[in-house]
Amino acid sequence: MTGRPISTRHRAEATRNVELTLTEYAILGLLGHLDEPISGYDLRKVVDRSIGFIWQPSKTQLYAVLRRLVDHGLASERRVRQRRRPDKTLFAVTAAGRACVHTWLSRDENQPDPDRSVLVLKLFFGAQADGDALVRQLVAFRDAYAARLSLYESKWRDDSPEERAGSDRFTRMTLRYGIARARAAVRWANATLEELQG
Amino acid sequence: MTGRPISTRHRAEATRNVELTLTEYAILGLLGHLDEPISGYDLRKVVDRSIGFIWQPSKTQLYAVLRRLVDHGLASERRVRQRRRPDKTLFAVTAAGRACVHTWLSRDENQPDPDRSVLVLKLFFGAQADGDALVRQLVAFRDAYAARLSLYESKWRDDSPEERAGSDRFTRMTLRYGIARARAAVRWANATLEELQG
DNA sequence: CGAGGCATGTAAGAGGTTACATGATTGA
DNA sequence: TCAATCATGTAACCTCTTACATGCCTCG
So what's the pLDDT on residue A162? 63
Instruction: Dump strand ranges (E) for A29-163.
Output: 38-39, 75-80, 88-93
Q: Which residues 10-39 of chain A have a CB within 8 Å of chain B?
A: 22, 25-26, 29, 32-33
So what's the pLDDT on residue B159? 79
Contact A138, A189 (CB under 8 A): yes
More confidently predicted of A131 and A84 = A131
- Per-residue pLDDT band for A2 (boundaries 50, 70, 90) equals very low
So what's the pLDDT on residue B10? 46
CB atoms within 10 A of CB A55: 23
So what's the pLDDT on residue B198? 79
So what's the pLDDT on residue B158? 85
Contact A68, A57 (CB under 8 A): no
Q: CA at A67, C1' at D18: how many angstroms apart?
A: 20
Cβ B126–A170 below 8 Å, yes or no? Answer: yes
- Per-residue pLDDT band for A111 (boundaries 50, 70, 90) equals confident
Cβ A169–B105 below 8 Å, yes or no? Answer: no
Bridge partner residues of B36 (DSSP): none
Which residue of chain B is at minimal alpha-carbon distance from A132? B106
Q: Is the CB of B106 under 7 A from strand C?
A: no
So what's the pLDDT on residue A14? 37
pLDDT above 90 (res A110): no
> What is chain A's percent helix, strand, coil content, to nearest 5?
60, 5, 30
- Per-residue pLDDT band for A12 (boundaries 50, 70, 90) equals very low
**Residues in CB range of B197: below 8 A, 6 or more apart:** B135
Q: Which residues 126-155 of chain A have a CB within 8 Å of chain B?
A: 126-130, 133-134, 136-137, 140-141, 144-145, 148
**CA nearest A86: which of A42, A48, A44?**
A42
The single-letter DSSP state of residue B50 is T
pLDDT above 50 (res A55): yes
Spell out which residues of chain B touch residue A168, defining contact as CB-CB under 8 Å.
Answer: 126-127
pLDDT above 90 (res A101): yes
Annotate A156-171 with b (16+ C-beta within 10 A) or e (fewer). eeeeeeeeeeebeebb
Residue A50: HSE in the Cβ half-sphere, 13 Å Cα cutoff = 25
So what's the pLDDT on residue A166? 60
Does A177 lie at the interface with B, CB-CB under 8 angstroms? yes
Among A16-25, A126-135, A184-193, the range scoring the smallest mean pLDDT is A16-25
User: Hey, CA dihedral for B25, A196, A182, B172, is it positive or negative?
Assistant: positive
In tens digits, what is the pLDDT along chain B, a chain of 198 residues? 333 334 444 443 334 567 899 999 999 999 999 989 999 999 999 999 999 999 999 999 999 999 999 999 999 999 999 988 899 999 999 999 999 999 999 999 988 888 899 999 999 999 999 999 999 999 999 999 999 999 999 999 987 766 555 578 999 999 999 999 999 999 999 999 999 997
Contact B178, A115 (CB under 8 A): yes
Does B80 lie at the interface with A, CB-CB under 8 angstroms? no
Residues 20-39 of A with CB under 7 A from strand D: 21-24
Q: Is the CB of B39 under 7 A from strand C?
A: no
